[in-house]
Structure 1
């Protein structure tokens, strides 16, 4: 992404929603954008691992983990899958682990923080449903823009 979110907001303000949650930028790419795909899960990463194992075609996976920091939804092995399959990035309303390794990968990662504890792997949750957090609705197919200033989403 060459345009900064602040400039994009100045240009298209009413067409964009700004996420109020102060996510940490934890991946090797601070600036990323693409069409939204979604996963809803709570302390269980099987569903997002399965999706990131498929071709991403430059999409951004928005993961609503309910804001839980009790366990990590993504670590370096799942992040490697995302890179290998052409995903632009992930936005996780939850935690990651292996943050040092993930910080070196060519992947955009926004998350609430980190926790070394693994998540469960039952496959609970949903895929490609509309999700909402930080005062913003994330609709599959709409575009998300992320950089050092924050996150913007097409309405």
Structure 2
């Protein structure tokens, strides 16, 4: 099912929050979904590496880079680490790089933009905090669903068995 979000929104209108942020698709997998791990960091992806080095167990990392597109918070090496550790996807409120390689990886990736410049490494950031993105709260351990239509959030896992199968 490529158009997952329209059906989820139709069936779970009272249970979802729409993220009104224009994100571009950079990964091979769309749609993608999973439980959220949050990270807030600014132009420093040290903690991104730390998190993606752990077992993802089908989760989605949501990185709040404060919307900065001056440094890339995700590149090919970190994305490969995510694939090896069973992460389903990564959403970046900021920039990514190595876009041609990312498009080939079995991973969902959304970001604001691409930037070829790497980040500083200062080991700064906050993991598993509530994020406020485009006036929408993103909670750790909630669920996120993403496809070419956008991103929605839910406090509980949504049941796909109620969806149409012809989408």
Shift of 1:2: 7.0
Alignment of 1:5-154 (within 5 A): 5-154=5-154
Judge which range, 128-137 or 84-93, deviates more: 128-137
| C-alpha RMSD of the superposition | 1.2
Q: Provide TM-score, normalisation by structure 2.
A: 0.90
Larger radius of gyration between Structure 1 and Structure 2: 2
Report runs of 4+ in structure 1 exceeding 4 Å deviation. Answer: none
Shift of 1:134: 2.0
- For 2:84 and 2:29, the matched residues in 1 are separated by 15
Counterpart CA distance in 2 for 1:136 and 1:5 is 17
Tell me the residue number matched to 2:163. Answer: none
Size of the aligned set, in residue pairs, is 155
How far did 1:135 drift?
Answer: 2.5
CA distance in 1, matches of 2:135, 2:10: 19
2:164 matched to which residue of 1? none
Q: Following the alignment from structure 1 to structure 2, what is the Cα–Cα distance between the partners of residues 26 and 50? A: 22
Post-superposition shift, 1:136?
1.6
Whole-angstrom CA distance in 1 between matches of 2:101 and 2:141: 29
Unmatched 5+ stretches in structure 2 = 156-167
Distance, in Å, in 2 between the alignment partners of 1:100 and 1:131 is 29
Q: 1:7 to 1:76 in 2, by over 3 A?
A: same
Q: Distance in 1 between matches of 2:123 and 2:132?
A: 20
Question: Shift in Å at residue 3 of structure 1?
Answer: 6.6
Q: Flag structure 1 segments of 5+ consecutive residues without an equivalent.
A: none
